[in-house]
Amino acid sequence: MFTLDETTARGREEIEQRARGIIQVNEDGTSKTRHNITNLIIEVDEETGTATARAYWTVLQSVRGLPQQPVLAGRYQNRFERHDGTWRFTELKATTTWSVG
């Protein structure tokens, strides 16, 4: 499950569709978007095979021919579970704290 502010997407197709609605893609298929993640804190519970992670994020984007500049910022609060030795997201929650305009 992926939640961005008040909207939620579930499953690969919905999440991919949501991402494509946010990330600008050029005619040649490339993106002029950079997603920086900072201050990552991960807490793992080995006994239950679960983990949480918190971080801040900033999206930089080249808009209308200008150099990359910040357009969005926020924080992540994510949950993970371990299945057969592999860690997987169970919830990715992004909250926007700042945006241009």
Beta bridge partners, 66, equal none
Helix (H) or strand (E) holding 16: helix 11-22
CA distances from 31 to 25, 61, 74, 79 (A): 5, 9, 20, 28
pLDDT for res 3: 86
pLDDT for res 5: 85
Domain CATH code at residue 76: 3.10.450.50
pTM of the model: 0.78
Write out the chain's pLDDT in tens, 101 residues. Answer: 778 788 888 888 888 888 777 777 777 877 888 899 999 999 999 999 999 999 999 999 886 778 889 989 999 999 999 999 999 999 999 999 999 87
Total structural domains in the chain? Answer: 1
Domain housing 25: 2-99
Instruction: Identify whether the C-beta of residue 38 lies closer than 8 Å to the C-beta of residue 58.
Output: yes
